[in-house]
Amino acid sequence: MHFDTRAIHAGYDPFDHFGAVNPPVFLSSTFAQASPGKHQGFEYARSGNPTRAALEGVLASLEEGEFACAFSSGLGATDSIIKLLNAGDHVVMADDVYGGTFRIFDKTFKRFGIDFTMVDTTDVRNVEKAITPKTKMLFVETPSNPLLKISDIEALCALARSRKVISVVDNTFATPYLQQPLNLGADIAMHSATKYLGGHSDVIAGACITRDPGLHERIKFNQNASGAVPGFLDCYMVHRGIKTLGIRMERACDNAEQVVSYLLEHKRVTKVHYPALEGHPNQAVAARQMKRYGAMIAFEINGSVADGERVVSGRRVWTLGESLGGVESLLEHPASMTHASIPKELRMKAGLNDGLIRLSCGIEAAEDLIADLEEGLSSY
């Protein structure tokens, strides 16, 4: 079946639940057992719940995996993935990952003896040089946050596989509609389902998908042991959002392309980051591994932190907020918001300048989005 059909029908059979078209929300923390250990597939909701199972079924289908775990947040998924490692292990990680990803590695797991090296993963040679005998995991975002760097998933995962390194691809920005890392050789695809999968800025959730039964069982064990499980209604909300993922992504990508054309002509914009543009790092790779180039844009102005804050403040159509992937268009200033937890010297080294602004295009009229940006860019 095609993607849009699976988004609506995969993972759930109405005739298993009295013909209900939508998966029921099972508000039960425990499940009756016929005898000790004899149950109907569920025993305690931290370990599993029918509403969650329906969501996990469609997640596995859309990423073309075999197994999926739904989490209470994207960082909950990241936490359980990192717990595949042991003290003394080493991770090679993209150098401009989401600030929360950097934080959990640097402030939490580093204290427990897990080391990491940040490199520019747009060049496979950088990753190859960073791998040591202690390297057990490669953690990549592509497109990355917020510079939209494109890494060659197929090449990187082939390298990881040859070195017996687990490859993890954060597919939040692209979504499985635009890119499917497992088909390109990744061991694990993960998401902040808060973003495009949920799609309506009304739920916090995460996801982790794999084809490897051993990895799945270990991730599932880590999740159950730590308790990073989504609520019953959260699962329902993400599942509902997924049903319109394809049409939302098409409209959002259309809007992004029009906004990029506008920004390229603006005299106060010094640089535009968008994977479709000639000269964008690995544009040819993006064309090969993505269906379209996405709805995320980053652009730079020649200004201070205060100038960047002035541009993003007071907008009428764009919503100033630390998220992305909703039906409403969002903008943010990484230096003072999502990436404020990264030390300035590391941020600047990675190209996250004070005048960098990130856009998440929603599904409003593109003309209104452009007019509102024009007002912001005229404010400093």
Residues β-bridged to residue 140: 169
Residue 98 pLDDT level (bands cut at 50, 70, 90): confident
Long-range contacts of the stretch 236-239 (C-beta < 8 A, 24+): 236/22, 236/23, 236/25, 236/51, 236/55, 237/198, 237/200, 237/202, 237/203, 237/205, 238/55, 238/70, 238/193, 238/197, 238/198, 238/203, 238/205, 239/11, 239/12, 239/23, 239/51, 239/54, 239/55, 239/58
| Average pLDDT rounded to a whole number, residues 123-151 | 97
Q: Does residue 350 have a pLDDT over 80?
A: no
Of 195, 211, 292, 358, catalytic: 195
Which of 81, 159, 169 shows the shortest CA–CA distance to 127? Answer: 159
- Please give the domain boundaries of the chain with CATH numbers for all domains: 3-242 (3.40.640.10), 246-377 (3.90.1150.10)
Handedness of CA 240, 153, 76, 106 (dihedral sign): negative
Q: Tens digits of per-residue pLDDT, 332-349?
A: 998 888 777 677 887 787
Q: What is the pTM of this model?
A: 0.94
Q: Which two tokens stand for residue 348?
A: 């600047």
| pLDDT tens-digit readout, 247-261 | 999 999 999 999 999
Helices of type H across 265-377: 283-289, 305-312, 344-349, 366-377
What average pLDDT does the structure give for the chain? 95
Instruction: Judge whether 213 and 57 are in contact, CB under 8 Å.
Output: no
Let me know if 46 is a catalytic residue. Answer: yes
3-state SS, residue 134: coil
Over residues 33-60, the mean pLDDT reads: 94
pLDDT more than 70, % of the chain? 100
pLDDT at 104: 97
Please give the pLDDT value at position 348.
80
Residue 329 pLDDT > 90, yes or no? yes
pLDDT for the residue numbered 379: 86
Kindly name the residue from 6, 89, 98, 248 that is annotated as catalytic: 98
Residue 375 neighbours by CB distance under 10 Å: 14
| pLDDT classification of 122: cutoffs 50, 70, 90 | very high
Residue 25 has pLDDT above 90, yes or no: yes
Tokens of 251: 């409209």
Catalytic residue among 46, 163, 240, 268: 46
End-to-end CA distance of the chain: 51
Residue in 194, 137, 123, 147 with CA at minimum distance from that of residue 169: 137
Stretch 263-279: mean pLDDT: 96
In the set 89, 95, 152, 170, the catalytic residue is 170
What gap in Å lies between CA 208 and CA 74, rounded to an integer?
Answer: 9
268 given a catalytic annotation: no
Give yes or no for a contact between 230 and 52, defined as CB atoms under 8 angstroms apart.
yes
* CA dist 268 → 276, 359, 379 (Å): 21, 16, 11
In this predicted model, which residue has the larger pLDDT, 38 or 280?
Answer: 280
- Confidence category of residue 226, pLDDT binned at 50, 70, 90: very high
pLDDT computed for residue 347 by the predictor: 77
Active site residue 195: yes
The predicted model gives 86-110 an average pLDDT of 94
By DSSP bridging, strand 90-94 and strand 135-141 are: parallel
- Cα–Cα dist 83/229, whole Å: 15
**Residue 170 falls in the annotated catalytic set:** yes
pLDDT of residue 304 exceeding 90? no
Residue 366 has pLDDT above 90, yes or no: yes
